[in-house]
Amino acid sequence: MTPIPPFPPTHKPADRPALAPGLRWDVFCRVIDNHGDVGVCWRLSADLAARGHAVRLWIDDASALAWMAPQGAAGVQVLPWRDPLADEVPLDVVVEAFGCDPPAAFVERMAACHAPPLWINLEYLSAEAYVERSHGLRSPQMAGPGRGLDKWFFYPGFTETTGGLLRGAGVALAPSPRALDRPLHLTLFSYDPPGLSAFRDALSTLPGGACVDVTPGWSTRVVQEQLGLALQLAGPTRDGRLTWRALPLVSQPGFDEQLRRSDLNLVRGEDSLVRAIWAGKPLVWQLYPQDDGAHADKLEAFLALYLSGAPTGLAAALSTVWRSWNGLSDDPEAAAAWADLLPPKPLWTVWQHWAHQQAMALSRPSDLVSRLLDFVARHRVASQTV
């Protein structure tokens, strides 16, 4: 594929590039908290670039990319989001991540283009029923700077009738489960799980002990506050049969590999859930807690999907543990469920095989970027035939 030349520092209306073998994309990202939004936008941008497209990633705080993607990516230009971006010419496709609202002046220029770019709102990931109903819907802009344009909703999801999951060309197939011949190895990437103390108690009963790798920031602070363990990068912290290790900040490939090396992954947020699924290992997901309780419905929808067809004992134990981990249940059976799920109990092997099976099943359909490119291609053809 012919390389696409880099963007000039500024564009004028007449400079809008003709369609090349790859398209040119504007991706807008606002960093809210916890780096999940920038993580998704970087994976999207890098995957598009790897397929021959050129991307301008407009971001209001790119500091996390220094450790998340220290090498950058050929074909991705990271630019500061500044208002009003009045001198920039919109490219072929404009993606706003999570309803972040591109600058009004930029949207006005989109509306003024002779052939306006395709405008896509990349939404949050969910297994809830509304995702299938809402994916691909058109939102005519009746007022404001984008008046006269259409915005299209693109919903990531787990089924064929959604936008799919971000994967990336470099993601290897999940390794087959194997028997443990060493202490259980875990990765903890969490918010503030109410059940952390009970989980620690369950780990402490394991005959072979366990090693818990704790990600920096929120997770490290929670371990210190809830468990009284002061973790340091200088070395591990012993806690009876348990060893706790503080991890440094790592790149996205480094984080993905960390999940693949672990036996059990306790993750938070949407991007890390997807990476934990691809790792093919037993996982527990903590959702960002919402004041209105919306995360409860989101969790139940995912449990129904992820555990559909699972052995009854596994489904019951995992449902109990996940609800407790998310603070949605104070079920006294949670401690017993943890004990049943961890090795050497038989359910551990069942859990291992189920996680691997789900990774394989979810990787068979096309991924998010492939579906996004198909979505764009169909709309560009339709616009040219009108």
The alpha carbon torsion through 124, 40, 283, 311 (nearest 10 deg) reads 50
Between CA 53 and CA 255 the distance in angstroms is 25
Burial class (CB in 10 A: 0-12, 13-18, 19+), 162: buried
Q: Can you give 24-66 as a three-state secondary structure string? A: EEEEEECCCCCCHHHHHHHHHHHHHHHCCCEEEEEECCCCCHH
- Rounded to 5 degrees, what angle do the CA atoms 281, 163, 318 make? 30
Q: Does residue 262 contact residue 280 with C-beta atoms inside 8 Å?
A: no
Q: Is 225 a catalytic residue?
A: no
The active-site residue out of 128, 270, 271, 367 is 270
Between CA 317 and CA 357 the distance in angstroms is 18
Pairing of strands 264-268, 283-286: parallel
Q: Is 37 a catalytic residue?
A: yes
Between CA 148 and CA 144 the distance in angstroms is 9
Pick the closest to residue 277 from 176, 199, 355, 225 (CA basis): 355
- Rounded to 5 degrees, what angle do the CA atoms 35, 38, 43 make? 120
Spell 2-40 as b/e; 16+ CB within 10 A means b.
eebeebeeebeeeebbeebebbbbbbbbbbeebbbbbbb
Tokens of 13: 């209306």
Q: Does residue 301 contact residue 172 with C-beta atoms inside 8 Å?
A: no
Between CA 144 and CA 163 the distance in angstroms is 28
The active-site residue out of 26, 37, 128, 213 is 37
Pick the closest to residue 256 from 171, 182, 176 (CA basis): 171
DSSP 232: B
Residues catalogued as catalytic: 37, 270
